[in-house]
Structure 1
Amino acid sequence: MTDVHVLGIRHHGPGSAHSVAEALATVRPDLVLVEGPPELDQVLPLLSDPEMAPPVAGLIYAVEQPRLASFYPLASFSPEWVAIRWALSTGTEVRAIDLPAAHGFAMAAALAEAPSSENDGDTSGEDAVPEVRLQQPYRPDAIATLAEAAGYSDAERWWEDAIEHRNAGPVDQFATIAEAIAEIRAVDNRASDHPDVIENNLREAAMRRLLRAAIREGHGRIVVVCGAYHAPALVPTNFPPAAADNKLLAGLPKAKVAVTWVPWTSDRLSLRSGYGAGVTAPGWYQHLFAHWTAQESYGDVATTWLVRVARTLRRENLDASTASVVEASRMAGALAAVRGRPSPGLAELDDAAQAVLCDGSPLPLELVHRELTIGLELGNVPESAPTVPLAADLTAAQRRLRLKPSALEEVLTIDLRKPNQLARSVLLHRLALLGVDWGVPSETGRTMGTFKEAWTLCWEPELAVALVEASRYGTTVASAAATYVSERAQVATSLAELSDLLARCLLADLPDGIRGVVSVLADRTALQHDVPPLLETIAPLARTCRYGNVREVDVTEVRRILDTTVVRTCVGLPIACAGLDDEAAAAMRRAIDSAQHGLSLLPELPLDDWHGALAAVAGSDRIHGSVAGRATRLLLDAGLVDGDEVAARLSRRLSIATPAPAAAAWLDGLLSGDAVLLIHDRRILQIVDDWVAGVHDDVFDDVLPLLRRTFSLFSPPERREIGEQVSRGSEPGQAASPMMLDLTGAGPAIRTMARYLGWEADA
């Protein structure tokens, strides 16, 4: 006769974990069954490896569709972790029981491919496989119902009071929980065809089938560790006929899956994922479990927690004396008594810490919450854990370059002149190409030059899935990135996309990829006759040429394509800018600005043709005002037209003969970006002021939004200065020019500066 003990637990509950440990020590089973897909059986022994350090997660993914993946997180205070480790340490057999992930993934894939229409046919046949829609995990809020019955509005607090801070015997406690959950399940009025109910029925049928098989094997004592909601369904005396379960599971599709362990983080334990039902304070639960395992009193738990809080505050140069810790501990106890709690919980400790240690401010407590309540731990898995070759290559590269993954976000500044740091940059850029965003480029200030980069690094557990997905491109980071680039170049739909891909190849040091993209880009550029795409290509090509020398990459062919693109753009620009409507003109203006920015990156590049094309655009009356005005501004910035010429063009464009909307568009093109012209040339400001004052009432409402947009781009100090100048008034023709400067009066200052600069100056 097999004795089956079902331990209904709360996932990631330290009290549940402690009770499971006590129950296992009491029952001494010869088989332990833990809730989880049976595919995990092959990697469960790895949890006894000395290099395995929680938090970790079982990762199961579909081999042909790696995006179909599930994580099953475990922390040191997870009841499943405690049960598995106990079994492995005592030589007891341990297995996982649940619906195989192979079925779940196959059903999810079938659902994704199914037509969106509902009830396309009759599925009422007796042998029909139920329609399973695994869109959300089945998580009925039975605990919330128990909490409400006990007079609690917060299910988490009820569980902490009734279960985590408990003194009842472990086996009896689990029996009581199962009995209470059974009553809740009895009043569940959801229809049998509800998607969540279907999923739950499948899972519990699979669990029972595996449990029946274990009983038939003749084990004397079996312990089942599962979520509390499932406990009543796994008590053998409550089993439905085996035929009913077998019928429910018959004909389910299957997918080929793979399984491994991956590092997890404390932060991710606070989210809902897989079987990790999401706890709000993993760091606090870790603290609780460690003290309960050491059999210390709860008073010690509260005091030592406040000691850790004080240490955290001191590291941030905040006062937190020993006397304050004692006072906070007393306050936490008093708060628990006032609130009718058996002992201080995290809420009482937080309130006491904020009042006593943080002087009532919630801001220091936010730091405590991040570092202690949540925690910054990142688990570790042994090298013997199954992995794809790409992940193994990344691990080797991390070790070689001394780039250790961390769950804590940190900024890494890289000096590209140093070989080891250049290799770090290359690795991060290659991973970014593959969609493994371990590092994200960031800015660190104005001191960054072309030889420096800054990255924000943070290792997220989901990156393990991204590595599996990227492994189809190659077995090493370099080969996978090169293959990805080659495939992406062939399907790129625009020159801008190809140019951006080329720039990323350069940063990732992929010579083969660069050659492949350059070849495709040369062909596509030769066939491209539209000017805007050519304009958008200039900036990425210019960046590639500029930064190529820093990374010691030959960019000769890229420079040739850039030169050709610039020439073709200059030839076609005036014609391409003619006859544009407002939307097309806005797009053309953005493209011209992009090209101008790219050309400015290469001071050695001859710009005569470019400036000639801009002059043709600026001088034509057939071109949209927004584009012509912008061309005029670029010529002014380049020193090819002076203030007098700009004032003359502005007067002509803002004359009565020009429709007000067209005049406003030209003005927007001229002034967009900054207010330097209006502030430092009073003639232009006066012309604009007179024009605005003279706009007829019937068109003013049409012009106002464009003017508002133009001036809204100026900074508040610039707008204030313009307003003050207009309010003071100015004489037409009064402009800031060298003729207004008193050079005689400035003579002494000029001579002094000349001496400071080491220039020869006549006395």
Structure 2
Amino acid sequence: MAVTFLGVRHHSPACARLVADTIASVRPAYVLVEGPADMNHRMDELLLGHELPIAVYTSYRDPERRHGSWTPLCDYSPEWTALAAGRDAGAELRFIDLPAWHPALADVRNRYADAEARYDEVTRRLCRAFSVDNVDALWDHLFEIEPADRLDERLATYFDLVRGDTPTGPDDAAREAYMAHWIRAAAADAGDRPVVVVTGGFHRPALIRLAERGGSDWPEVPRPPEGAAVGSYLVPYSFRRLDAFDGYQSGMPSPAYYQRLWESGPAEAARGLAEAVTARLRARRQPVSTADLIAARATADGIALMRGHPHPARVDVLDGLASALVSEAIETPLPWATRGPLQAGSHPVIVEMIAALSGDRVGRLHPSTPLPPLVHAVLAVLGDPGEERLDLGKQAGRERSRLLHRLRVLGIPGVERRSGPRPGGGAELVEQWVLTEAVDRLPALIEAGGYGVDPQEAAAAALAERVTGADLDQLAGILFDAALCGVGELAGRVLDDLARAVGAAADLGALGRTLTVALAMWRHDDLFRTSGSTTLGTVVVAATERALWLAEGVRGGPAPADLARIDAVIAVRDALRHAGPALGLDPALALGVAGRIAACQDAPPDLRGASLGLAWSLRGTTTGDPGGVVSGAAGDGELVRAVRGAFVPATAGDWLAGLFALAREEVLHADGMLELLDELVAALTEDDFLVALPALRQAFGFFPPRERHLIATRLVERRAGGGSGWDLMRLDAAPELVAAGMALDERVEAALRREGLITS
């Protein structure tokens, strides 16, 4: 059979040119391309006349699995030039790979992810042999910059070498067997006419072997399992998403550079690269002089000559620019010496250079391209850009809010909420939104169309996907988002998972955040329509009891106050206050736990203070005092002893932070409590006060400004017999100056004592 196998590197201009030239030369009966076979009946749609880059986005959803993947195409993709040249030559065009939803591609987010990881050892040996940093530089050195003569032979040798005897896994084996079936059938149908096969170079050696044996009937296109939802749509793609420096799995980095290489050749691509970098840096007010450019060009030419390149390659130009434009020491490796996303801490000039090479091109679909129902459903109701203020107390405001929240959950660009209800917040009934134009909105909507046909169905599926593997904090956020989206059918699954997570929770802070969210949803009917939910009530009860159990087991010495731990105790208090009677929560149980923790010297000071505050704040809603911790006003002996015993300089502020967070109002209005605290603070030595000061400032930060003013007024009355609290809160001098003055006073006093001028 007259089959020409072209193994290519995806998104390689050299390979794209070879494919186009080969097809134009042999004029085959069939052009077979690695791509999703279930798109064959839509080949006319693919070739409508889009502005590239574009991609085929495929979504798959069943009760067990959710998967989305892309098959991207740009002007210099060999797969694209195969289709275009094949159409011009009058050939039959076929994609021959398994559909993107197939289990053999379950771990593939991008079909054209090159298989370099599978032959990493070979490519590393080649990089060492040719003295290049990575496979991208190796590829340029061997194929993109070199003349195109005998390119097909050199490519075949390269891919035969890098694959060698590497065993394939079952997924690759399934794909290759399926592609070989298509090749045999096309060759049999073509008879004496030629067939051209364009696939990733990794598959080429196996396909040559497999195509020689087996039947020649046309293969069937696999069908999705019963009950699975599958959709494939064309989406606009962008150079930024195509770029390896942005984490793209496949092909070449710097797509704008390779677009120039495709259009104009290596010499013009090198010149254009330098121009693009210069223009971008100057647009950002980075100084780039003519002398810098001359130095960069000369350095690049010299590096290219040293490396044996007939024209400067991409890395030659980049090395030249970096040498000329970056004068400081670079802490991280140059990004073109490695693969993958830019590392944190990259030099700003280097970042701009990489962005210039990436380019900002965005594809555009032909107006006749079919779009998923979700796109039409959203665009029909989204409205014009601008600010929106929604009144959630009205039905129209709630419906609009739910739509916008569904788009937010789906990650649709240009939909931003500025303010509104938050987990654990009050029943805020106003939301502020800003809608803006976004160039990537259409691709995002098309991809979100894989979740469902309308915003509610799509948001429900997206939230259900987030449930898988979510931790306690994430599940609470999902629960809150589900309520904001009005996605009632999701609640059962989320709440089941949430209840199981609560029962196994080991992080008191995370459990407290979950309890806060569940309690807010249980309480506020006007906003969530979930008030009094039996299931939510079960979660509140379970989380409250679990939080008390976890709190009693916390041990630890002096440490900064753990605000998340304190917030968990606040959530327990609020649950007992607002839901206790309705849900049958036992305040006596909580007071008993609070009493034991408050008296336990092995418990962290912030938790001991919070437990005392919990018992004190619950006193007004209980009959009796089972814990024995709080039995009256601050003057009562047991409470006074508890406060005095906890007031150790190293931990006093942490202990007070817990107390104030839970019983701020009780402390403020209890007879004698502020006076007691003033006495204890005044008794601290200067050194002890400085040790305690940071934590004390954090503790008193729990009082809002009005209450701090009240405290200051009472202290002024106590110390000076009258006056304004503002005088105490507003120093005329900066705190640093006051501290320096006190230090000077101390040195003067020490000197006077040393000289015998002060004896008392």
- TM-score (structure 2 length as normaliser): 0.61
Please give the alpha-carbon distance, in whole angstroms, between the structure 2 residues aligned to 1:211 and 1:579: 64
1:684 partner letter: L
Instruction: Pick one of 207, 210, 213 that aligns with 1:242.
Output: 213
| Matched residue, 2:373 | 389
TM-fit CA distance, 1:80: 0.8
Structure 1 residues 214 and 308: alpha-carbon distance in aligned structure 2, compared to 1, 3 A threshold:
same
Please give the alpha-carbon distance, in whole angstroms, between the structure 1 residues aligned to 2:518 and 2:662: 22
The higher-RCO structure (CA 8 Å, 6+ apart) is 1
TM-fit CA distance, 1:305: 1.6
Please give the alpha-carbon distance, in whole angstroms, between the structure 1 residues aligned to 2:319 and 2:244: 24
Please give the alpha-carbon distance, in whole angstroms, between the structure 2 residues aligned to 1:659 and 1:745: 31
Structure 1 residues 417 and 620: alpha-carbon distance in aligned structure 2, compared to 1, 3 A threshold:
closer
State whether residues 310 and 357 of structure 1, in contact with CA within 8 Å, keep that contact through their aligned partners in structure 2.
Answer: no
Once the two structures are superposed, the pairs formed by residues 527-676 of structure 1 within 5 Å of their partners are 542=520, 554-555=526-527, 581-583=552-554, 590-594=567-571, 624-625=598-599, 629-630=609-610, 633=613, 645=634, 651-653=640-642, 669-670=658-659
TM-fit CA distance, 1:279: 2.7
Instruction: Pick one of 194, 210, 213 that aligns with 2:182.
Output: 210
| Matched residue, 1:176 | 154
Can you list the C-alpha shifts for 1:26-63, whole angstroms capped at 9, x where unaligned?
33434322122322312332232234531423536477
- SS of corresponding position for 1:8: strand
TM-fit CA distance, 1:452: 3.2
| Matched residue, 2:110 | none
Q: Does 1:11 align with 2:10?
A: yes
2:262 partner letter: F
Please give the alpha-carbon distance, in whole angstroms, between the structure 2 residues aligned to 1:534 and 1:721: 22
State whether residues 616 and 663 of structure 2, in contact with CA within 8 Å, keep that contact through their aligned partners in structure 1.
Answer: no
State whether residues 415 and 453 of structure 1, in contact with CA within 8 Å, keep that contact through their aligned partners in structure 2.
Answer: yes
Once the two structures are superposed, the pairs formed by residues 372-411 of structure 1 within 5 Å of their partners are 372-382=356-366, 384-385=368-369, 388-394=372-378, 396-397=380-381, 400-401=383-384
Please give the alpha-carbon distance, in whole angstroms, between the structure 2 residues aligned to 1:387 and 1:92: 28
TM-fit CA distance, 1:313: 1.5
Please give the alpha-carbon distance, in whole angstroms, between the structure 1 residues aligned to 2:464 and 2:180: 50
Please give the alpha-carbon distance, in whole angstroms, between the structure 2 residues aligned to 1:498 and 1:50: 44
| Matched residue, 2:349 | 365
| Matched residue, 2:406 | 430
Instruction: Pick one of 211, 226, 234 that aligns with 2:199.
Output: 226
State whether residues 522 and 533 of structure 2, in contact with CA within 8 Å, keep that contact through their aligned partners in structure 1.
Answer: no
| Matched residue, 2:22 | 23
Please give the alpha-carbon distance, in whole angstroms, between the structure 2 residues aligned to 1:358 and 1:239: 52
- SS of corresponding position for 1:140: helix
Please give the alpha-carbon distance, in whole angstroms, between the structure 1 residues aligned to 2:565 and 2:699: 31
State whether residues 33 and 223 of structure 1, in contact with CA within 8 Å, keep that contact through their aligned partners in structure 2.
Answer: yes
Please give the alpha-carbon distance, in whole angstroms, between the structure 2 residues aligned to 1:347 and 1:51: 31
Can you list the C-alpha shifts for 1:318-371, whole angstroms capped at 9, x where unaligned?
223455434422332223224443332232322333343455576333432453
| Matched residue, 2:747 | none
- SS of corresponding position for 1:57: strand
Instruction: Pick one of 656, 679, 685 that aligns with 1:683.
Output: 679
Instruction: Pick one of 325, 339, 362 that aligns with 2:293.
Output: 325
Q: Does 1:476 align with 2:459?
A: no
State whether residues 277 and 353 of structure 2, in contact with CA within 8 Å, keep that contact through their aligned partners in structure 1.
Answer: no
- SS of corresponding position for 2:119: coil
| Matched residue, 2:86 | 87
Structure 1 residues 220 and 77: alpha-carbon distance in aligned structure 2, compared to 1, 3 A threshold:
same
TM-fit CA distance, 1:163: 0.5
State whether residues 256 and 357 of structure 2, in contact with CA within 8 Å, keep that contact through their aligned partners in structure 1.
Answer: yes
State whether residues 20 and 82 of structure 2, in contact with CA within 8 Å, keep that contact through their aligned partners in structure 1.
Answer: yes
Instruction: Pick one of 250, 258, 273 that aligns with 1:277.
Output: 250
Q: Does 1:344 align with 2:312?
A: yes
TM-fit CA distance, 1:79: 1.1
2:485 partner letter: A
Structure 1 residues 672 and 649: alpha-carbon distance in aligned structure 2, compared to 1, 3 A threshold:
farther
2:277 partner letter: V
Structure 1 residues 618 and 220: alpha-carbon distance in aligned structure 2, compared to 1, 3 A threshold:
closer
| Matched residue, 2:119 | 140
Instruction: Pick one of 469, 485, 507 that aligns with 1:508.
Output: 485
| Matched residue, 2:137 | 157
Please give the alpha-carbon distance, in whole angstroms, between the structure 1 residues aligned to 2:118 and 2:550: 61
| Matched residue, 1:101 | 99
Structure 1 residues 259 and 66: alpha-carbon distance in aligned structure 2, compared to 1, 3 A threshold:
farther
Please give the alpha-carbon distance, in whole angstroms, between the structure 1 residues aligned to 2:187 and 2:172: 22
Q: Does 1:263 align with 2:236?
A: yes
TM-fit CA distance, 1:250: 11
Please give the alpha-carbon distance, in whole angstroms, between the structure 2 residues aligned to 1:628 and 1:274: 48
- SS of corresponding position for 2:143: helix
State whether residues 414 and 452 of structure 1, in contact with CA within 8 Å, keep that contact through their aligned partners in structure 2.
Answer: yes
TM-fit CA distance, 1:12: 1.1
TM-fit CA distance, 1:11: 0.8
Please give the alpha-carbon distance, in whole angstroms, between the structure 1 residues aligned to 2:518 and 2:435: 20
Can you list the C-alpha shifts for 1:71-112, whole angstroms capped at 9, x where unaligned?
3222222111122123335543211223x238x825678x9x
Structure 1 residues 36 and 595: alpha-carbon distance in aligned structure 2, compared to 1, 3 A threshold:
same
Structure 1 residues 539 and 307: alpha-carbon distance in aligned structure 2, compared to 1, 3 A threshold:
same
Please give the alpha-carbon distance, in whole angstroms, between the structure 1 residues aligned to 2:305 and 2:676: 71
Q: Does 1:314 align with 2:278?
A: no
Once the two structures are superposed, the pairs formed by residues 706-717 of structure 1 within 5 Å of their partners are none
Q: Does 1:72 align with 2:71?
A: yes
Please give the alpha-carbon distance, in whole angstroms, between the structure 1 residues aligned to 2:43 and 2:249: 17
Please give the alpha-carbon distance, in whole angstroms, between the structure 1 residues aligned to 2:434 and 2:675: 36
| Matched residue, 1:291 | 264
Structure 1 residues 678 and 81: alpha-carbon distance in aligned structure 2, compared to 1, 3 A threshold:
farther
Structure 1 residues 534 and 380: alpha-carbon distance in aligned structure 2, compared to 1, 3 A threshold:
same
1:166 partner letter: E
Can you list the C-alpha shifts for 1:480-512, whole angstroms capped at 9, x where unaligned?
5579999999x9xxx9999977854664367x8
| Matched residue, 1:731 | none
Can you list the C-alpha shifts for 1:246-282, whole angstroms capped at 9, x where unaligned?
89x9999864565332333434434599996343322
Q: RMSD between aligned alpha carbons?
A: 6.5
Please give the alpha-carbon distance, in whole angstroms, between the structure 2 residues aligned to 1:430 and 1:720: 40
State whether residues 541 and 558 of structure 1, in contact with CA within 8 Å, keep that contact through their aligned partners in structure 2.
Answer: no
Please give the alpha-carbon distance, in whole angstroms, between the structure 1 residues aligned to 2:464 and 2:142: 60
Can you list the C-alpha shifts for 1:508-540, whole angstroms capped at 9, x where unaligned?
367x889x99xx99xx9xxxxxxx999976666
- TM-score (structure 1 length as normaliser): 0.61
Please give the alpha-carbon distance, in whole angstroms, between the structure 1 residues aligned to 2:419 and 2:263: 40
Please give the alpha-carbon distance, in whole angstroms, between the structure 1 residues aligned to 2:65 and 2:659: 52
TM-fit CA distance, 1:477: 0.9
TM-fit CA distance, 1:205: 3.4
Please give the alpha-carbon distance, in whole angstroms, between the structure 2 residues aligned to 1:592 and 1:84: 64
Overall identity of the aligned pairs, in %: 24
State whether residues 6 and 19 of structure 2, in contact with CA within 8 Å, keep that contact through their aligned partners in structure 1.
Answer: yes
Q: How many residues are treated as equivalent by the alignment?
A: 622
Q: Does 1:36 align with 2:15?
A: no
Structure 2, unaligned runs of 5 or more: 108-112, 331-345, 500-507, 557-561, 580-586, 621-629, 668-672, 702-711, 729-760
Structure 1 residues 261 and 689: alpha-carbon distance in aligned structure 2, compared to 1, 3 A threshold:
farther
TM-fit CA distance, 1:555: 4.8
TM-fit CA distance, 1:391: 4.7
TM-fit CA distance, 1:242: 2.0
Structure 1 residues 597 and 343: alpha-carbon distance in aligned structure 2, compared to 1, 3 A threshold:
farther
Please give the alpha-carbon distance, in whole angstroms, between the structure 2 residues aligned to 1:720 and 1:622: 23
Instruction: Pick one of 280, 302, 326 that aligns with 2:270.
Output: 302
